[in-house]
Structure 1
Amino acid sequence: MTADFARIPVSSIHVGERQRPIDQDHAEAIAASMAERGLINPITVRRTPNAQKGATPYTLVAGGHRLTAAKINEWTEIDAMVVTADAAQAVLIEISENLIRNDLSALNRALFVAKYRETIEEMVGNIHRGRPKKGHDGPIFALPGKELSQRVQERLGISHRTYKRISQIAVHLHQDLRQAVRATEIEDDQSKLLKLAKLDVEAQLKLAAAMREGATFKAAMALIAPKAEPPALDLQGMLFARLSDIWSKADEATRRRFLDEVVSADDWSNLEDAA
């Protein structure tokens, strides 16, 4: 992949579908900084000479907030790194840049890593699976299962433990629940996201519906929490305890009368002989 630096017209850049939505407040903050200090890190674009019938010969790869900030400042030109990349490679570049940023939420980080692997898997489908030719020095994406996971971890600089956790969130957290936790404290709480991802689909959908109706996370969780079974009653134990209590309060005559009622004469003789 080659790259060149150039100053290009803002109007010549096609934005297209982005992996990360633009946060307008964040873009305005960047615009204020750029107005004072200029653009420190150039955006990244790729050449797409036929896009929109040639009206936008460049397509944005990375730097959506910086490009939006330039438009807010009414800049007509912007510094850019122009890379030679196809659409899939552009997605990998965008995700890689976003993953090194500190302002990503735990949810977005998980989804970005999943998208990174998904993109590589799509590329693998278009690559011959034979061994690389002698002298090949490019990236080898044609890797199966475990090896591909390892390569993703190495490329993104994350541990196996981190990769496993964020993959669970990305794969098992239902899209309805993803939207429900957006802009809440849960979006950046990996432990709670993992807990939600382990719920079955029905429970996740109920939780998402409750949160859309305005329920707090705690209240919504209470709605799907399994109700504890009441402890089984020990009826005989309760009767024994009551009988023991009554017996302790009875005098000798009452106890004798009771025993006369429940014990036959022959039984009394046997009890007296045994005594």
Structure 2
Amino acid sequence: MADFRKVPTHLVEMPGDRLRGVDENHAKAIALDVEKHGLINPITVRGPFGAKGGTYSLLAGAHRLRAVQMLGLEEVETMVVHVNGGWSSLLIEIGENLFRNDLSKLDRAMFVSKYREAWEAKYGKVGRGRNSANIAEFLDQAGLVSFSDHVATRMGLSKRSIEAAQEIAQKLHPELRRALSGTPEADNQAVLQRFCKASSDAQCDAARRIRSGAKAKDELRNVGVVPDQNGSAALERLTAAWGRLSKKDRREFVRDHRAELAAFIAEAGADE
């Protein structure tokens, strides 16, 4: 259940454990748009808590809330949801943020990981088969066997990209994630995956050097990871381009290359 209403801006509180911080420059850009057009997309909150006039807990829309605060607006348009805390609230936050196009590869990796974590905490482990009763609700909503298929379909990205995101979230050390956050390399999936091949100690050393001013790409060599020369950059560009295609364009591409694709699929099946 959810309803739309205006609530006093000062009553909306931002939890300290949110997955994504607020970029002040991004919030300023949103503020300019809000000042001109109003807040088109309401923030999402849970509450109110306490007696009449109690506070609300922000679930999604941190940048929009910050923009409203910058403008000094006394009220903010909200969608108020009536859910319990914990994973239900987290699913709403991730659900809104994960399927945005402005996430870096690093941000996306963390949201994909948390999205799966939330699903498994709420519904049970996500497996490949359809016979597990504790994932019935997940499968009903997804209509797919694979978690990667589900997220890939909703985001318009390839399954390979989603699997890469899970690898980055699972293997990139938190210290290195923090050091890379906000850098150009945070949006370079190939670089992130190469760092994943280094040991935890090597990643921590690289993080310290990056925070001291070293270039992230130079650190790939320092941790003993040599850039792949076998076409991974081209594959990365192809994967990204496929993710940007509309369904119509994808169908046309497959139709135009049907014979070639069928031959590759048959060859790959024979190798397995």
Settle same-fold status: TM greater than 0.5: yes
Gaps of 5+ in 1: 228-275
Aligned to 1:46: 46
Instruction: Give 3-state SS (helix, strand or coil) of 1:104's partner.
Output: coil
Cα separation, 2, equivalents of 1:39 and 1:213: 40
Partner AA of 1:117 in structure 2: R
Aligned to 1:213: 212
Instruction: Give 3-state SS (helix, strand or coil) of 1:98's partner.
Output: helix
Instruction: Give 3-state SS (helix, strand or coil) of 2:49's partner.
Output: coil
Aligned to 2:57: 59
Partner AA of 1:172 in structure 2: K
Instruction: Give 3-state SS (helix, strand or coil) of 1:21's partner.
Output: coil
Counterpart contact for 1:35–1:73, Cα < 8 Å: yes
Aligned to 1:34: 34
> Shift of residue 86 of structure 1?
2.1
Q: 1:223 to 1:99 in 2, by over 3 A?
A: same
> Shift of residue 203 of structure 1?
2.0
> Shift of residue 225 of structure 1?
3.0
Q: 1:101 to 1:148 in 2, by over 3 A?
A: closer
- The two structures, once aligned, show a CA RMSD in angstroms of 3.0
Aligned to 1:84: 82
Deviation by residue 1:104-144 (Cα, 9 ceiling, x = unmatched):
11100000010111112222369xx9848xxx9x6679xxx
Query: After the TM superposition, which residues 164-203 of structure 1 pair with which residues of structure 2 at under 5 Å, given as runs?
Result: 164-203=163-202
> Shift of residue 164 of structure 1?
1.1
Q: 1:66 to 1:11 in 2, by over 3 A?
A: same
Query: After the TM superposition, which residues 181-260 of structure 1 pair with which residues of structure 2 at under 5 Å, given as runs?
Result: 181-225=180-224
Structure 1 runs of 4+ aligned residues shifted over 4 Å read 129-132, 138-141, 146-158
Deviation by residue 1:156-213 (Cα, 9 ceiling, x = unmatched):
5654312211000000000111112122211000111011112221221222122122
Q: 1:214 to 1:60 in 2, by over 3 A?
A: same
Instruction: Give 3-state SS (helix, strand or coil) of 2:3's partner.
Output: strand
> Shift of residue 150 of structure 1?
5.2
Cα separation, 2, equivalents of 1:226 and 1:62: 38
Gaps of 5+ in 2: 126-130, 227-272
Counterpart contact for 2:44–2:60, Cα < 8 Å: yes
> Shift of residue 99 of structure 1?
1.9
Counterpart contact for 1:13–1:56, Cα < 8 Å: no
Aligned to 1:9: 8
> Shift of residue 8 of structure 1?
1.2
Aligned to 1:242: none
Cα separation, 1, equivalents of 2:121 and 2:218: 41
Counterpart contact for 2:197–2:225, Cα < 8 Å: no
Partner AA of 1:26 in structure 2: H
Instruction: Give 3-state SS (helix, strand or coil) of 1:102's partner.
Output: coil
Cα separation, 2, equivalents of 1:167 and 1:200: 18
Cα separation, 1, equivalents of 2:89 and 2:108: 18
Cα separation, 2, equivalents of 1:43 and 1:226: 43
Cα separation, 2, equivalents of 1:30 and 1:110: 24
Q: 1:131 to 1:214 in 2, by over 3 A?
A: closer
| Equivalenced residues, count | 216
Deviation by residue 1:31-67 (Cα, 9 ceiling, x = unmatched):
11111111111111122423xx776432111111111
* Larger-Rg structure: 1
Partner AA of 1:66 in structure 2: R
Instruction: Give 3-state SS (helix, strand or coil) of 1:58's partner.
Output: strand
The answer to whether 1:24 aligns with 2:24 is yes
Identity of aligned residues (%): 38
Q: 1:155 to 1:220 in 2, by over 3 A?
A: closer
> Shift of residue 24 of structure 1?
0.7
